[in-house]
């Protein structure tokens, strides 16, 4: 074991070092708490034996600093050296600061060795538990990633099948998710929120499952009645995705229901405006228009980027959230790359 001694009394320090080295421990010595802390921070220490009263920093302060770094470094067993009359300090050290054990000065070698044996066992057990916990955490993280990837693949495949009814492709589904995630990240969303919208955004048109093929695939202009049927895909999508306890599906519900609302309040199905439209729906409303205009559809050919941006700029005042529109313009290089990688 690598043991750090913090003791300002030279006789006691040398005596401790003598016995510890005799018992085959690697010993590092310090004359005060501050110097001991520097050793602790720069080296892998297993056990610290510290006097209570020392210059620069006392033993309880030293142990407090050690305990405050519990997540950064492996567990360190601490033993407080104290005189026979320091019972209050022993209680404080054990109960409040986190000292593991104490030895009364002048120490008896046999007692010290017995207490060190307990310390060695504790350190080994703590290290084993830490390694076991880290191993479990890696397994859980791996399983979580696999579950998430399975969910994503299932969602994409099902939505690709749905989109194929109106000649869309899996590329459209993936692009909407990636575009939305990019804007959410640029807006400062958390990593989890960004990942959620990446999976939720592709479900924006899930309500089209309730729209007849004859209307979805119609090549000419829609009648007023047919357009009302098309519009119903938002409420159908909201019903399909409603009442979920999962944040990602709650996000998908808001997107499916409100992604055709407009900033000025003249969209559908509820004529919501501005901040009354869920933020995720405002993001998807923008990227869906961008992708729709940029790709071939059954009723028209894809437009050039210049043509797309001119149309979107014209609609900026009434259709899109100005904040997300500005982020979108700044993100165009990333959007172009996403489009190239997901044709």
Indicate the pLDDT class of residue 83, thresholds 50, 70 and 90.
confident
237-274 in b/e form (b: 16+ CB < 10 A) is bbebbeeeeeebbbbbbbbbbbbbbbbeeebbeeebee
Phi, psi angles (nearest 5°) of residue 256: -60, -40
Encode pLDDT of 92-112 as tens digits: 667 677 888 888 888 999 999
Question: Quick one: pLDDT at residue 184?
Answer: 97
Q: How many residues does the chain have?
A: 343
Question: Quick one: pLDDT at residue 164?
Answer: 56
Strands 101-104 and 47-51 come out as unpaired
**Domains of the chain and any CATH numbers:** 2-136 (3.40.50.2300), 167-341 (1.10.3210.10)
What is the Cα–Cα distance from 165 to 209, expressed in whole angstroms? 9
pTM of full prediction above 0.85? no
CB of 187 closer than 8 Å to CB of 324: yes
Question: Quick one: pLDDT at residue 148?
Answer: 73
Mean pLDDT calculated for residue range 237-259 = 92
Encode pLDDT of 129-186 as tens digits: 888 888 888 888 888 778 777 777 767 666 666 655 555 556 788 899 999 999 999 9
| Alpha-carbon distances of 334 from 140, 186, 293, 296, rounded to whole Å | 32, 11, 17, 21
Phi, psi angles (nearest 5°) of residue 105: -90, 145
Question: Quick one: pLDDT at residue 89?
Answer: 61
What is the Cα–Cα distance from 35 to 283, expressed in whole angstroms? 55
């Amino acid at each position: 074991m690598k043991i750090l001694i913090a003791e300002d009394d030279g006789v006691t320090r040398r005596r401790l070092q003598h016995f510890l080295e005799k018992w085959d421990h690697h010993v590092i010595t310090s004359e005060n708490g501050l110097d001991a802390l520097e050793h602790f921070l720069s080296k892998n220490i297993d056990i610290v034996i510290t006097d209570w009263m020392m210059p620069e920093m006392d033993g309880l302060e030293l142990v407090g600093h050690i305990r405050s770094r519990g997540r950064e470094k492996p567990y360190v067993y601490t033993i407080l050296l104290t005189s026979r009359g320091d019972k209050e300090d022993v209680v404080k050290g054990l109960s409040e600061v986190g000292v593991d054990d104490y030895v009364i000065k002048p120490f008896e070698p046999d007692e010290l060795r017995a207490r060190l044996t307990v310390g060695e066992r504790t350190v080994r057990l703590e290290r084993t538990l830490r390694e076991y916990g880290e191993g479990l955490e890696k397994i859980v993280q791996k399983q979580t990633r696999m579950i998430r990837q399975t969910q994503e693949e299932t969602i994409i495949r099902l939505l690709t099948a749905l989109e194929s009814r109106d000649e869309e492709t899996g590329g459209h589904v993936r692009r909407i998710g990636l575009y939305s995630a990019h804007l959410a990240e640029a807006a400062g969303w958390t990593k989890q929120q960004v990942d959620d919208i990446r999976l939720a955004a592709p479900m924006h048109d899930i309500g089209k499952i309730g729209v007849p093929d004859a209307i979805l695939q119609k090549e000419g202009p829609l009648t007023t009645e047919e357009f009302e049927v098309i519009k119903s895909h938002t409420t159908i999508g909201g019903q399909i995705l409603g009442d979920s306890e999962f944040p990602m599906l709650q996000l998908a519900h808001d997107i499916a229901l409100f992604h055709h609302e407009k900033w000025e309040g003249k969209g559908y199905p509820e004529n919501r405006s501005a901040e009354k439209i869920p933020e995720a729906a405002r993001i998807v409303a923008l990227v869906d228009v961008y992708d729709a205009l940029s790709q071939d559809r059954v009723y028209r050919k894809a437009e050039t980027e210049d043509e797309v941006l001119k149309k979107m700029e014209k609609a900026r005042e009434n259709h899109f959230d100005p904040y997300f529109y500005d982020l979108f313009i700044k993100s165009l290089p990333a959007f172009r790359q996403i489009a190239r990688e997901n044709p």
